[in-house]
């Protein structure tokens, strides 16, 4: 039996390096260039970030989730989780370390389902950190429910014609290519009648109607596009994977994306807890330090317990993925951490905001952005309610209904069974009385 909660010393040294590196070299980028994270760098920005990426490569921490054949280290999800806890503190850090969303998930499915030509054209520059990509799945009417998708791809000779609308397609304005999910066979179940396509940016017919921002961003600005695919013509080799295989491909991609979000959320939540504790030890009010107030102590205790439970669950799920190499087998736990994730970030960030008082509610602290981000996490890659249904169905598979009118743990029923089991001993006891 092998069971351990320690990180091997060699990798822990790399994590310690990453912790200091992100704090000293990467987090300042969040303040100086917050809107350029997913923008191909100009010459000036390249002079800043290229040396940082090279330093990460020198440490063997570039794209750690990928195998050596794809330019990564093949460390797997557990080590990626430990690293992502650090990277989650910074918007720029995943880019500098080659594991930013949505590109990690997009790279994974191209690596798994793409042809050699597709890998060379799309995957290689993505792994080199030279381009960004867009996963265009959600629709205005159907949301993330694939059974309601209306976007169609129809054969026309040796080409496909893509027609429809997509909503909240992140990074569309800076992406070099799109992965688009469309209905290719409307006469069968949606789960068996959709396909995915690799669509280069700039292809005629891609119309970015408007950019959609998050709650704190000005109207008309943001990085989540409403797109009209207006008669986009694609060659036959634009198909990613087999025809009508999109749902299986999506599950492969979204499974990884969900746990990667959870890993980074640990880092965000820990940052909020750190700020709360610092404030509690720094602020004197109402005759004493905040850290001496029982309400504040309760906030800190609840936050620590909530974060620790969540972190251990994420690490365990990452370990399962590495062990079984099958997202479907780990589907229940991936869905469960997706359910828990938004409330962890929301609760800890909200408490931290409260402890900071008016300053916490201002735009001079990051708590409002964190709290809004928690709501985003409750919707990204499927809403919380859907994942709860998934968890429940998966849990119920391990149970059977009672074979009697009474529950199996009904005490009178169990007492009768116990008496029958030990009848001889009970009769002996009665006789001695």
State the pLDDT at residue 255: 67
**pTM score, two decimals?**
0.89
Instruction: Please answer whether residues 209 and 227 qualify as being in contact, where contact means their C-beta atoms are separated by less than 8 angstroms.
Output: yes
Mean pLDDT, residues 129-157 taken together: 90
Query: Which DSSP string do the residues of 179-245 spell out, in sequence order?
Result: EEEEES-TTS-GGGSEEEEEEETT-TTEEEEEEE--TTSPTT-SSEEEEEEEEEEEEGGGEESSTT-
Long-range contacts formed by 360-365: CB under 8 A, 24+ apart: 365/275
Give the per-residue pLDDT at 1. 63
pLDDT tens column, 388-414: 999 999 999 999 999 989 999 999 999
Statement: residue 432 has pLDDT above 60: no
CATH of domain 133-240: 2.40.110.10
Beta bridge partners of 169: 225
- Among 27-36, 344-353, 370-379, the range with the most confident prediction by mean pLDDT is 344-353
pLDDT of residue 430: 54
pLDDT of residue 3: 76
With CA atoms as reference, report the closest residue to 322 among 77, 3, 75, 4: 77
Task: Tell me the CATH number for domain 248-396.
Answer: 1.20.140.10
Q: Where are the domains of the chain?
A: 9-100, 133-240, 248-396, 403-433
pLDDT at 273 over 80: yes
Per the CB < 8 A criterion, the answer to whether 45 and 29 are in contact is no
SS3 label, residue 141? coil
**Residue-averaged pLDDT of the chain:** 92
Which band of pLDDT confidence, cut at 50, 70 and 90, is reported for residue 100? confident
pLDDT tens-place string over residues 321-363: 999 988 889 999 999 999 999 999 999 999 999 999 999 999 9
């Amino acid at each position: 039996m092998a069971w351990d909660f320690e990180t091997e010393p060699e990798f822990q040294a790399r994590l310690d390096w990453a912790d200091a590196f992100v704090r000293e070299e990467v987090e300042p980028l969040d303040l100086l260039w917050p809107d350029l994270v997913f923008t191909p760098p100009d010459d000036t920005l390249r002079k800043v970030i290229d040396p940082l990426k090279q330093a990460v490569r020198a440490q063997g921490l570039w794209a750690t989730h990928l195998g050596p054949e794809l330019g990564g280290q093949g460390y797997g999800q557990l080590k990626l989780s430990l690293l992502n806890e650090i990277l989650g503190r910074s918007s720029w850090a995943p880019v500098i370390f080659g594991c930013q969303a949505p590109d990690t998930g997009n790279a994974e499915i191209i690596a798994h389902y793409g042809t050699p030509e597709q890998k060379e054209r799309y995957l290689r520059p993505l792994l080199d950190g030279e381009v960004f990509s867009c996963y265009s799945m959600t629709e205005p009417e159907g949301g993330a429910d694939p059974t309601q998708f209306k976007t169609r791809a129809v054969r026309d000779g040796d080409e496909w014609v893509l027609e429809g609308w997509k909503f909240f397609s992140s990074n569309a304005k800076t992406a070099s290519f799109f992965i688009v999910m469309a209905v290719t066979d409307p006469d069968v179940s949606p789960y068996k009648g959709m396909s995915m396509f690799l669509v280069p940016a700039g292809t005629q017919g891609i119309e970015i109607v408007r950019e959609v921002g998050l709650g704190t961003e000005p109207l008309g600005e943001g990085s989540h596009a409403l797109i009209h695919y207006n008669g986009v013509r694609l060659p036959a080799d634009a198909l990613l994977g087999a025809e009508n295989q999109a749902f299986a491909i999506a599950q492969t991609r979204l499974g990884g994306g969900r746990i990667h979000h959870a890993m980074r959320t640990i880092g965000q939540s820990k940052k909020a807890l750190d700020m709360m504790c610092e404030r509690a030890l720094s602020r004197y009010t109402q005759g004493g330090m905040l850290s001496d107030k029982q309400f504040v102590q309760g906030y800190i205790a609840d936050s620590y317990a909530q974060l620790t439970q969540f972190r251990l669950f994420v690490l365990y799920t990452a370990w399962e993925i590495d062990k079984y190499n099958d997202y479907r087998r780990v589907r229940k736990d991936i869905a469960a951490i997706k359910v828990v994730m938004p409330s962890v970030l929301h609760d800890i960030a909200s408490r931290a905001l409260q402890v900071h008082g008016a300053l916490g509610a201002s735009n001079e602290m990051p708590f409002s952005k964190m709290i809004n981000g928690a709501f985003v996490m409750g919707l990204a890659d499927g809403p919380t309610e859907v994942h709860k249904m998934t968890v429940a169905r998966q849990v119920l598979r391990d149970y059977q209904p009672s074979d009697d009118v009474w529950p199996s743990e009904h005490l009178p029923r169990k007492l009768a069974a116990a008496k029958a089991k030990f009848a001889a001993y009970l009769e002996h006891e009665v006789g001695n009385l």
